Amino acid sequence: MVGTGPYATISCMKPYAITVVGGAGIVGREFLKILDERDVPVGRLRLLATQRSAGSTVEFRGSTITIEETSPDSFAGGDEIVFLSASGDASRQYAPLARDRGAFVIDDSSAFRMDPAVPLVIPEVNAGAMASHSGIISQPNCTTTPMVMALYPIHRDNPLRRIVVSTYQAVAGAGAAAVEGLRTETTAALAGRHEPSGTQRREIAFNAVPQVDDFVEGASTKEETKMANETRKILDAPDLAVSATCVRVPTFFGHAMAIWAEFERPVDPAEAREAIATMPGVRVVDEPGGERYPTPVDAAGNDDVLVGRIRADSSRPGGIALWAVTDSIRKGAATNVIQIIEEADRRGLVGPSAPR
């Protein structure tokens, strides 16, 4: 067995034929890196992307893989697992094709997250939901995952009633171009120039932008709506009150969030800290006396959700406030997908004989 805990890679896992749509992107590249780190066996690997990236090459386990352009003909059969890390439009077009030709599909876009027939999965929280899959599994938004993981160990014994959350999201969540955009904007700003890169809604260097994704009805953004609706679905809590404000900040990697949570019964901070510390994939870093708490720098390159500043919510007696940080490209995206693959293998959900 490689790694530790209930989601360690099992060395006898079958080497599957895997295809990655979006293989040239920041999440696709990290997915390959984590396959290696967790020693996941791979039988055959194909990388698909847009026409712009087609023809470029990627090194993987001593082999050079040429990225192919994605088209409907890309899914002629032979894929056992297809991971889509592309746009919602691409997922809506290609995920059903891959599924109908026998692949177990994992989608990283918002295309299927709220589809009642598609499980929305964080393996540490609701792996059992995968049993009802019909060929497609969706994974949550990169802000939903750490929030749910931090609150779930309390919620499972004392159901949530209300969440208020403010996020501080790194530019990596918007892709590799946004990371480069922050670099170029910062260089210009340090020289006294304002040169927006166009990768964010507003100039991001030395700034904070309270808009992630488009605005929708009710003056919330899509990102904020996703956090609320996805949390309700994952926790099977349709009446849960959730209010989110999502902000892009000038950090490269690591989404952070301040969370205020209220449960059916009052929660003591010490009780909350003890429960959160038992959660697989979560690490408590919370020593106020020593000024120890997690930051985005601590989360970068790390698979854990880091939680600190656990304290009583002085505005809501019985509620708690806390701070959580995670690497949005790893546990917020690529690592969660690999854990879904590992869990699907354990449950016999991949392959022609798998239940649909």
Active site residues: 142, 255
Task: Identify residue 328 by its one-letter amino acid code.
Answer: S
Q: DSSP label at 57? A: E
Spell out the long-range contacts of 48-53 with Cβ–Cβ below 8 A and sequence spacing 24 or more.
48/19, 48/20, 48/21, 48/22, 48/23, 48/74, 49/21, 49/22, 49/23, 49/24, 49/25, 50/24, 53/23, 53/24
How far CA 251 is from CA of 255, 300, 336, in Å, comes to: 9, 10, 22
Distance (Å, whole) CA 341 – CA 13: 10
Classify each residue of 45-79 as buried b or exposed e, where b means 16 or more C-beta atoms within 10 Å of its C-beta.
bbbbbbeebbeeebebeeeebebbebeeebbeeeb
Distance (Å, whole) CA 63 – CA 234: 38
Classify each residue of 225-242 as buried b or exposed e, where b means 16 or more C-beta atoms within 10 Å of its C-beta.
bbbbbbbbbbbebeebeb
Q: Are 244 and 287 in contact (CB under 8 A)?
A: no
Please name the residue that has the structure tokens 């904070």.
Answer: 208
CA angle 275, 321, 208 (to 5 degrees): 125
List Cβ neighbours of 76 (8 Å cut-off, separation of 6 or more): 101
Instruction: Quote the tokens at residue 130.
Output: 């995968």
